[in-house]
Structure 1
Amino acid sequence: MKAILEDLSADKYINSFIVNQYTTSNFEYRWHYHPEFELTLIESGVGDRFIGDSFESFQKGDLVLIGPDLPHTWMSDKEKNVVSAAVVIQFTNHFIERFLTLNEFSKFKNMLAMSGQGLYFPNPPFEIISKMETINQKEGIVRINSLLEIFDILTELPYEVLASPFFQPIKNEENGLRINTVCQYMLKNSSADISLKNVAELIHLSESAFCKFFKKMTGKTYSDYLNEIRIGKACSLLTASDKTIAEIGFQTGFESITYFNRVFLRKKKRTPNEFRKMSRNNLDKNT
């Protein structure tokens, strides 16, 4: 599916920035982009987050800043049967640039420059969550001031860069359709033994031509991208199930547990067992 250009222009004439609060049974896969900056806070729900070529799990408290034209979507895990809710703040470069000329905004200006790859803020403090959840209750200058306070808190938080530095948003309609056909197929069938030949045939390319096309469009090799999807799903299982490491490795599509452990360590900088212990320790602290 091609990344959809989301047009928010109708709302620009009402307020200086847009705040939407969503509550739904689940977030559907909707791969899209827009020229506005976007700050998204997940209030409830679990599933997968796609930002550029980044594939990660999300849960309550997930906070991400996305720059203009960076494709993204959140997709709920429907099997968990958890209500999904989010606060989404969108603002234009035209709105924010008048503040960026001030020295006091130098740190935030640097952060916005990095947001073109997507920025994830782990464990955001209650203060910023509260301000985002109540900003729609404010009016006039107080409303703008609340947004500036949110920006100020962001500059003091540690963050992780999500998309690869060489990732380039795809705006060509034909190439967008082709790469999204492939990525959708990989997402749905990642646990199976999907061959390079079968995937290349989806968009009528030879294997060698497909590899060049995929690397150009995503900045990653086909096998590396597939492994990221599988590791992302493995992280969800390690956190939410009592299945053994071996069971999870095979269930997510790895033919060898040795290879699963090696790829997991390379991607997550820790072993599957260490990841499980860390996740459960964090869960215990928050309950």
Structure 2
Amino acid sequence: MKAQFEKISSSTNSSFNAFIYEDENFDAPWHFHPEYELTYIVKGEGIRYVGNNVEKFEHGDFVLVGSNLPHCWKNTIQNKEKVKSIVIQWNDTILGDNWIDKNEFQHIKTLLKKASKGIKFNLKNSKKMELELNKILTKPPFEKLLNFIQLLENLSAFKEVETLTSEGFTPTLNIKSNHRIEKVYDYVQENYDKKIKLQDVSNLVSMGDEAFCRFFKKSLNKSFFTFVNEFRINYTCKLLIETNKQVSQIAYDCGYESLPFFYRQFQKFMGCSPLVFKKKYIKI
């Protein structure tokens, strides 16, 4: 994936970084870094990008991103409240060289290997996890490290998980092209409710239509308009859950001019109709 390299630095001599991020927006661009990263959403909602996966996020969203896996979070423009997350970052020498190969850490080794594709933990009790993460933030250094390693061990046994990127996704890291992907993401977020023309997007990144399509497909292992439909359907799900609007109005609000096409896309990405999705969510 073509993304911006980010150098993670620490102002202390700690083995890892653990901090609270709170601001008007998640302002980090589409980026990657050698460190592993856990991100828990305390407050805010929007769209999460990990590799070639595009999903909505909200309070309680908890994701592990592997080394050099491109990612970013974009809170929805309509949402004016501040965003807040708990973030933990660490590298593969957190306990020294070759620690991960020791018998005691085999479960954690398996977890971190799976993290290369991104992992979402479906929490049944997000408040409990939030308290556990806050405990790590406030402990003295030695206890902080012990609690964090215990957290990784606990997560390695977690059953309710989703792999985020598809089997065919292989990141191609190229710093030179990172701004193109970022521009495309921002453009789709700002214009998903309108008709999006290929020529407008390719012009935005100073490429011809065919060259842009090849570039995007190579970068995300999916076509540009598949990406657009994923974004729109994710936002459709948000509106189905949070509003009482008619399905036809929601489809129109998310940029769909044809209802039959909208229904086909919803079935393709969600595996059910919009009304069935809404009923399932209400029962949860």
User: Judging changes above 3 Å, is the alpha-carbon distance between structure 1 residues 140 and 116 closer, same or farther for their aligned structure 2 residues?
Assistant: same
- Determine if contact 1:26/1:78 at 8 Å carries over to the other structure: no
Aligned length: 280
Partner of 1:94: 93
Counterpart Cα distance in 2 of 1:144 and 1:258:
54
Q: How is 1:30-49 mapped onto 2 (pairs within 5 angstroms)?
A: 30-49=29-48
1:82 aligned counterpart, secondary structure: coil
Counterpart Cα distance in 2 of 1:170 and 1:187:
23
1:86 aligned counterpart, secondary structure: strand
1:108 aligned counterpart, secondary structure: helix
- Determine if contact 1:61/1:124 at 8 Å carries over to the other structure: no
- Determine if contact 1:128/1:150 at 8 Å carries over to the other structure: no
Whether 1:145 and 2:136 are equivalent positions in the alignment is no
Counterpart Cα distance in 2 of 1:54 and 1:171:
16
- Determine if contact 2:3/2:181 at 8 Å carries over to the other structure: no
- Looking at secondary structure, tell me which structure has more helix per residue: 1
User: Judging changes above 3 Å, is the alpha-carbon distance between structure 1 residues 249 and 32 closer, same or farther for their aligned structure 2 residues?
Assistant: same
- Determine if contact 1:28/1:76 at 8 Å carries over to the other structure: no
Q: How is 1:33-182 mapped onto 2 (pairs within 5 angstroms)?
A: 33-95=32-94, 98-125=98-125, 126-157=127-158, 158-182=160-184
Task: State the identity as a percent.
Answer: 31
User: Judging changes above 3 Å, is the alpha-carbon distance between structure 1 residues 210 and 80 closer, same or farther for their aligned structure 2 residues?
Assistant: closer
Partner of 1:285: none
Partner of 1:221: 223
Ranges in structure 1 where 5+ consecutive residues have no aligned partner: 283-287
- Determine if contact 1:128/1:153 at 8 Å carries over to the other structure: no
Counterpart Cα distance in 1 of 2:25 and 2:41:
12
159-168 vs 252-261, which moves further:
159-168
Ranges in structure 2 where 5+ consecutive residues have no aligned partner: none
TM-score normalized by the length of structure 1: 0.88
User: Match for 1:63: what amino acid?
Assistant: F
TM-aligned CA deviation for residue 75 of structure 1: 2.0
User: Judging changes above 3 Å, is the alpha-carbon distance between structure 1 residues 127 and 156 closer, same or farther for their aligned structure 2 residues?
Assistant: farther
Alignment deviations for residues 40-71 of structure 1 (CA, whole Å, 9 cap, x no partner): 11112222212122221111111000011222
Counterpart Cα distance in 1 of 2:176 and 2:280:
43
Counterpart Cα distance in 1 of 2:175 and 2:64:
25
TM-aligned CA deviation for residue 103 of structure 1: 2.7
Counterpart Cα distance in 2 of 1:47 and 1:36:
24
Partner of 1:202: 204
2:64 aligned counterpart, secondary structure: strand
220-229 vs 172-181, which moves further:
172-181
104-113 vs 142-151, which moves further:
104-113
